[in-house]
Amino acid sequence: MAIVRNLSRALVVPLLLLLGACGDEPAPTGTTPAPAASRPEAAPVSPSAVPSATSADPAARAAEAVARLSDEDLAGQVLMPYAYGSDATKVDAANARGNQGLAGVDTPAQMIEKYRLGGLILVGFTPGDPTGKTNPTTNVENPKQVRALTEGLQQAAGRLPAAAPLMIGMDQEYGTVTRVTDGVTMLPSAMAFGAAGQPALTEAAWRAAGEEIAAMGVTVDFAPVADTLSPSGAGVIGSRSFGSDPKANAAQVAAAVRGLQSAGVAAALKHFPGHGHTTADSHDELPLISQTRQAWQAQDVPPFAAGVSAGAGVVMSGHLDLQAVDKGVPATFSHKIMTEVLRGQLKFTGVAVTDAMNMAPAKKWPAGEAAVRALNAGNDMLLMPPDIGAARDGILAGLKNGSLKRERLTEAVTRILTLKFTTARTPQPDLTTIGSDAHQRAVSALDAAAVTVLRGKCAGPLVTGPVSVTAPASREVARVALVKALQNAGVPVQASGGSVIRLVGYGDARVDLDDTAAVTVMMDAPRLLAVAQTPTLVATYSSSQLSLTALAAVIAGKAKAPGRSPIAVGNLPRSACVK
């Protein structure tokens, strides 16, 4: 589904309809819009009350809604904070305190109603997660709980004047950034898709993921990561990227977009204009993109362009300093990048959303000023503002003093509502689709295609006789999963004394902790294997159960390893078995 196609039409609706309906005349050029308090409040309208003649047309329906919204309604629609509590209306005392500090309310539903929110992001904190610094709480546990939560959130949104679904987002990238793991079909990291190199498998796996995400009530997945790594594979993004080849990445990004959006979930390309060549972490500081403009165009742009062409509904801005285009200005706050390049050059007509506004580069300004700056740059939705009330009030003040034109705000809200009405047309799958056999098969095929032997045999068992599986204590779940998978594949496993298969994963700093190992397996970006002395080196790019099952088949000699590393691994070949 090319979700983004409907959005361009919404922005050419006649000005009379967009701004002048319901008695609101557009302010003459150069004048200050009327203060928010002087504008009439719109009464809540149920979705069924919208005229049926436009109900099938998301763009026209969005224009109708925008025309009757007050300034407060418009300001709320561009906000997408997080909330404390795993239920929309019932939270414990600790979560109530969190919501009071964030928004002056007790529950997520109250937050939606107070600020007339257009969206909410579901969050989860896991130690070691590279995005954990912006996720101070967890409100996702399992699919059944998430669906109950999203249903409650939608009920609260249904009482707002916009009469529009809530945009509910989640960072379900899989790999190192995954919010819901319990009970879902776990995809491997993006780098595994790059290793498999088969866009058809990518599309099928992401379609399965999209159906499960939609079943939980999430409407936007902040994935895929469209960042291209440097040729060496270095940088902070790591296995979240498909690899270092921009052309190959472009094909993977487009396939992931098609898969997700075929299930009615909007895909979000991130982190525009490209985080793959940076070494700094934008959670803590402003990373520099130091390539020449020509190099950036050749290396970083192709996956974003491919995702836009595939119809991605959302592009996420990065807090990144693209020095060749707008030196010293974070892309999130750069009109040159978010409007001239993204809209003008790439022809993106969907929803531009900021990366988290509670990250260090975005907190350079007070929340209200940062909100206005991000909107003026060309963003449509503000993700995770550190102070919801201040962000909303800053937008209203900008309308009043003229630093934010109402036309810019209505343009943003029209895009947001068009996307929401578009995704709402796809029926929500039942929870029984989650973890289905069909989804398991689709993802298993991808996992099997990704396994890569960088050194070792390409036919028959990788080791003979009994094996023992070792791993750091933090990898115990993966170790046990591989033991079971090897036993199911007919490989004898014993606690000690067998040929050692050593597992290494995300965040590990060394691989040669046991120089007696026969096989070292990297379950993340395989760069560390460049210094390993182990006779056999294998990469799965993932520690999921399905990935380890595919690995066991290769170790047992029941399957080949058709993967090829999508990044350079020292002097090792990309594959010992595949040209």
The domain 5-21+65-433 is placed in CATH, from the list 3.40.630.30, 3.40.50.720, 3.20.20.300, 3.40.50.300, at: 3.20.20.300
Query: Residue 49: helix, strand or coil by DSSP?
Result: helix
- Residue-level pLDDT at 72: 98
The CATH class of 451-555 is alpha beta
Question: What local confidence, expressed as pLDDT, does residue 110 receive?
Answer: 98
Q: Residue 69: in which H helix or E strand, if any?
A: none
pTM of whole model > 0.75?
yes
Q: How far is CA 529 from each of CA 229, 231, 396, 511, 525, rounded to the nearest angstrom?
A: 18, 16, 54, 7, 9
pLDDT given at position 132: 63
CA distances from 396 to 73, 111, 416 (A): 10, 18, 18
- Note the pLDDT of residue 56: 74
Counting as low any pLDDT under 50, the low residues of the chain are 1, 9, 12-54
Q: Residue 128: which residues within 8 A CB-CB, separation 6 or more?
A: 176, 506, 507
Angstrom distance (rounded) from CA 498 to CA 464: 9
Gap between the terminal Cα atoms of the chain: 35
8 A C-beta contact, residue 423 and residue 351: no
Q: Are the CB atoms for 119 and 65 separated by under 8 Å?
A: no
Distances (CA, A) of 421 to 168, 332, 389, 436, 495: 13, 26, 26, 28, 56
283 is catalytic: yes
Q: Cα–Cα distance between 412 and 167 in angstroms, integer?
A: 14
Can 5-21+65-433 and 451-555 be said to share one CATH topology?
no
pLDDT at 55: 54
Structure tokens, 13: 């609706």
CA–CA distances in Å: residue 288 to residues 275, 281, 315, 324, 362: 9, 10, 20, 10, 15
Contacts of 432 (CB under 8 A, 6+ apart): none
* Alpha-carbon distances, residue 4 vs 10, 17, 307, 309, 311 (angstroms): 11, 21, 11, 9, 5
How far is C-alpha 264 from the chain's CA centre? Answer: 15
Cα distances from 212 to residues 173, 187, 224, 369, 512, in angstroms, run: 13, 11, 16, 38, 39
CA distance linking residue 577 with residue 457, whole number of Å: 8
Q: Exposure string (b/e) for 330-347, b if CB count within 10 Å is 16 or more? A: bbbbbebbbeebbeeebe
Residue of 275, 277, 283, 439 marked catalytic: 283
Domain limits, the chain: 5-21+65-433, 451-555
Classify residue 142 as exposed, middle or buried by CB count within 10 Å of its CB (0-12, 13-18, 19+). middle
Is 430 considered catalytic here? no
How far apart are alpha carbons 529 and 574 in whole angstroms? Answer: 11
DSSP per residue, 387-428: -HHHHHHHHHHHHHHTSS-HHHHHHHHHHHHHHHHHHTTSPP
H-state helical runs in 340-405: 367-377, 388-401
Q: Which of 355, 387, 447, 524 is catalytic?
A: 355
**Contact present, 562 and 445 (Cβ < 8 Å):** no
Nearest partner of 568 among 537, 525, 538, judged by Cα: 525
Distance CA 60, CA 13 (A): 8
pLDDT tens across 311-359, in order? 999 999 999 999 999 999 999 999 999 999 999 999 999 999 999 999 9
372 phi/psi in degrees, rounded to 5: -65, -40
Supply φ then ψ for residue 371, to 5 degrees.
-60, -45
pLDDT of residue 26: 33
Is residue 372 within 8 Å of 403, Cβ to Cβ? yes
Instruction: Tell me which residue of 245, 250, 214, 217 sits closest to 232, measured CA to CA.
Output: 245
List phi, psi (to 5°) of 308.
Answer: -65, -45
Asked if residue 46 lies in contact with residue 163, where contact means CB atoms within 8 angstroms, the answer is yes
Which pair of structure tokens corresponds to residue 120? Answer: 């909410």
